[in-house]
């Protein structure tokens, strides 16, 4: 469907239409919706640069009374923890995405070999987890008390590594867009199975891998749930867990009026403040905002390919 029309990321072929008043009304509504989507994100930027007192007195605002960069100063107070968390998140995202792309494309490639009798089994095997799964509780108990992986980075990497949908997307791309004659020709020229895959198939898979890879990277970057369930030591905390913890400590201080005054004072320096919290949020979501526009065309295309089973 999308293949015939070329790049699905393109908007509909431009038809000759009048730029009448109707178009401007339509444009107005689209702009409204765009603002609805974007303004909340903008608020993060503005609050991060707002003076703490201004927020305390007047609440969050798009037009703050006083600007300040003090929020970022407080972010630096997390200092080494923030750096560590950044490192962990980047490591998990990069390593997980590449590992996932490699193992899934190999799997998808094997699955798409036509005269391979086991390929039927492989496709059923990858499909079943989409239909049926053990749920969070059973996974939690198996991973922690049988695999003994509590507090291990593997539990941030492996659960998001191989997903049914991504395997199907890659398989569809191999089946539809990579001529099998190419692989056969390589074999006739004496290339082994592995060489055929790594030197012929893998390079041709790039567009599909860009799409899948970006979606995976986002999933890794944004994963808070596995971190919350499994990670306990500070030096393994990813960024999202840092955010969750900030929220938890705010909650704790607000809800526990019986925290002794002395303890409060002792923690005084660490009570997360509004602008500082927003600055942290900005630091966490920033990289995706920056990278995303470059990948937009790939994942839009990948989404379409995935929706149409080959």
Partner 1 sequence: MKSFLKNTWKHRAHVIMALPAFLILFFIMYVPMAGLVMAFKNFDYSKGIWASPWCRLDNFKFLLASKSTFITMTRNTLMYYVIFTALGTFLNVVLAIAIDQFVFKKAAKTMQTLMIIPVFISYAAVQFIVYAFISTDTGILNKTLGMNIRFYSTASWWPLILTIVKMWNSVGYGSVLYMSVLAGIDTELYEAAEIDGANKWQKIWHITLPALIPMVTVMLLLSVGNIMRSDTGLFYQVTRNSGVLYPTTQVIDSYVLNAIFKNSNFGFTAATSFFQSVVGLLLMLFANGMVRKISPENALF
Q: Exactly one of 17, 21, 79, 262 binds partner 1 (CB under 8 A); which one?
A: 17
Q: Exactly one of 30, 94, 263, 271 binds partner 1 (CB under 8 A); which one?
A: 30
Touching partner 1, residues 216-275 (CB under 8 A): 218, 221-225, 229, 240, 243-244, 247, 251, 274
Q: Taking the alpha carbons of 157, 163, 166, 170 in that order, is the dihedral positive or negative?
A: positive
Confirm or reject binding of residue 15 to partner 1 (CB under 8 A): yes
Q: Which is nearer to partner 1, 115 or 262 (CB)?
A: 115
Touching partner 1, residues 290-309 (CB under 8 A): 292-293, 296, 300, 303-304, 307-309
Confirm or reject binding of residue 60 to partner 1 (CB under 8 A): yes
Q: Exactly one of 68, 110, 152, 273 binds partner 1 (CB under 8 A); which one?
A: 110
Q: Are 298 and 214 in contact (CB under 8 A)?
A: yes
Q: Exactly one of 2, 81, 177, 249 binds partner 1 (CB under 8 A); which one?
A: 2
Confirm or reject binding of residue 74 to partner 1 (CB under 8 A): no
Q: Which is nearer to partner 1, 111 or 209 (CB)?
A: 111
Q: Exactly one of 69, 133, 180, 235 binds partner 1 (CB under 8 A); which one?
A: 133
Confirm or reject binding of residue 182 to partner 1 (CB under 8 A): no
Q: Are 13 and 304 in contact (CB under 8 A)?
A: no
| Nearest CA-CA partner of 3 in 209, 177, 125 | 177
| Nearest CA-CA partner of 223 in 160, 178, 132, 296 | 160
Q: Exactly one of 21, 36, 261, 262 binds partner 1 (CB under 8 A); which one?
A: 36
User: What SS3 class is residue 67?
Assistant: strand
Task: Provide the b/e sequence for 94-111 (b: ≥16 CB within 10 Å).
Answer: eebbeebbeebbbbbbeb
| Nearest CA-CA partner of 299 in 217, 197, 198 | 217
């Amino acid at each position: 469907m999308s293949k015939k029309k070329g790049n699905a990321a393109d908007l509909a072929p431009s038809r000759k239409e009048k730029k009448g008043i109707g178009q401007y009304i339509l444009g107005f509504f689209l702009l409204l919706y765009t603002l609805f989507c974007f303004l909340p994100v903008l608020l993060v930027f503005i609050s991060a640069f707002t003076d703490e007192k201004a927020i305390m007195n007047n609440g969050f605002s798009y037009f703050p009374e006083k600007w300040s960069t003090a929020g970022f100063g407080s972010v630096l107070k997390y200092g080494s923890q923030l750096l560590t968390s950044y490192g962990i998140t980047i490591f998990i995202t990069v390593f997980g995405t590449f590992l996932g792309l490699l193992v899934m494309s190999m799997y998808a490639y094997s699955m798409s070999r036509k005269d391979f009798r086991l390929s039927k089994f492989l496709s059923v095997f990858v499909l079943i987890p989409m239909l049926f799964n053990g749920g969070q509780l059973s996974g939690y108990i198996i991973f922690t008390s049988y695999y003994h992986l509590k507090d291990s980075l593997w539990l941030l990497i492996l659960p998001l590594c191989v997903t049914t949908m991504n395997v199907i997307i890659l398989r569809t791309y191999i089946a539809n867009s990579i001529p099998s004659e190419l692989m056969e020709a390589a074999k006739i020229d004496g290339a082994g199975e592995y060489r055929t895959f790594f030197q012929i198939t893998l390079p041709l898979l790039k567009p599909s891998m860009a799409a899948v890879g970006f979606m995976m990277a986002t999933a890794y970057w944004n994963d808070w749930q596995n971190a919350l369930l499994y990670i306990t030591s500070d030096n393994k905390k990813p960024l999202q867990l840092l955010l969750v913890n900030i929220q938890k400590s705010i909650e704790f201080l607000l809800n526990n009026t019986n925290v002794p005054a002395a303890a409060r004072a002792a923690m005084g320096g660490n009570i997360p403040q509004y602008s500082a919290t927003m600055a942290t949020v900005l630091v966490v979501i920033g990289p995706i905002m920056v990278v995303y526009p470059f990948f937009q065309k790939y994942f839009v295309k990948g989404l379409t390919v995935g929706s149409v089973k080959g």
